[in-house]
Amino acid sequence: MKNKTLNGILLCSLIFIVGFCLHGNLSLYFNLSGIFIVFGGTATAALVSFKFEQLKTAFNMLLNAYKTPAKKKTEVINILIDLSIRSRMEGILSLQEEEDETTVLFLRRALGCLVDGYEIEQIRDIMNTEMYFYRLGRDDSERILRTIADFFPAFGIIGSVVGLITMLGGIGDTSVILQAVPIALTSTLYGLILSNFFFLPFAAHLRERTNQELLLRKIIIEGVISINSEVNPVILKTKLESFLTPAEREDELVSYNKIKERFNI
């Protein structure tokens, strides 16, 4: 799936770039004053709006969203059913070893609470607070990317106006003036491309990813609480299944058999 997305992006950007080269001469797109104004202006506006630290966090978060794929819902559900079975067979304290193995940070903390013997209400409280601040941080980063995406076209237009003014001031020859217009427009082009080709999609991607991560966290909270109240693994499975779409449910059934094998039930 991931590869399809990547191939699609490569193919489509190629088409996009071919569109740029079709009528010729790429040097026409180069406008140093425009580059300075668009990048310098947007960067200043971003730094006046947010602190350097916040911008760095937002970009790291974005990079992570593209580099590490999200855990699949079925995978997390399988881990939870696994843990539920083990907890019923070997006691809740046996989950301590699992705690160190899991790569999902949120699950690790939830298991920690479980092993430490917190009560259901307390676990729910702690995990919900954790989730709330996670969401706050992600929303901040998305807002930063959207704000930057809004600044780019504005500074693109500023660059174009500057281009028109500096290049045409004092010249009275119509043909030269009309010829200069496209050069000045390159700034607008920079602003539009940076906003629509990069930052708006980045912000949208971050938002989709946040939604997925929050859903996973909801599943983990439900699962861990069920383990704590010693719910039957089969009922737990039915419960967690309601988080899946019908298509995903069939996927999950396969792994259920694997669990059966593993625990020799």
Residues within window 139-198 making contact with its own copies, judged by CB under 8 A: 147, 151, 154-155, 157-159, 161-179, 181-183, 185-186, 188-189, 192-193, 195-198
With 0-12 CB in 10 A as exposed, 13-18 as middle and 19+ as buried, what is 81? buried
> According to the binding rule CB under 8 A, does residue 5 interact with its own copies?
yes
Looking at beta carbons only, is 86 or 138 nearer to its own copies?
Answer: 138
Least distance from C-beta 232 to its own copies, angstroms? Answer: 15
- Are 131 and 119 a contacting pair, CB within 8 Å? no
- List binders of its own copies among 191-250 (CB under 8 A): 192-193, 195-198, 200-202, 204-205, 208, 242-243, 245-246
Q: Max CA-CA distance within the chain?
A: 90
Looking at beta carbons only, is 25 or 264 nearer to its own copies?
Answer: 25
Nearest to 190 by CA among 33, 4, 77: 33
Least distance from C-beta 43 to its own copies, angstroms? Answer: 4
Looking at beta carbons only, is 37 or 79 nearer to its own copies?
Answer: 37
Q: What is the rounded radius of gyration, in angstroms, for the C-alpha atoms of the chain?
A: 26
- List binders of its own copies among 103-122 (CB under 8 A): 105
Looking at beta carbons only, is 5 or 264 nearer to its own copies?
Answer: 5
Q: Which residue has the tokens 């971050």?
A: 206
> According to the binding rule CB under 8 A, does residue 263 interact with its own copies?
no
Looking at beta carbons only, is 60 or 96 nearer to its own copies?
Answer: 60
- List binders of its own copies among 6-65 (CB under 8 A): 8-9, 12-20, 22-25, 28-29, 32-37, 39-41, 43-54
Looking at beta carbons only, is 104 or 154 nearer to its own copies?
Answer: 154
Task: Please state the φ and ψ torsions of residue 200, each to the nearest 5 degrees.
Answer: -65, -45
Element (H, E) at 225: helix 200-228
Concatenating the DSSP letter of every residue in 54-93 gives: HHHHHHHHHHHHHHSPPPPHHHHHHHHHHHHHHHHHH-GG
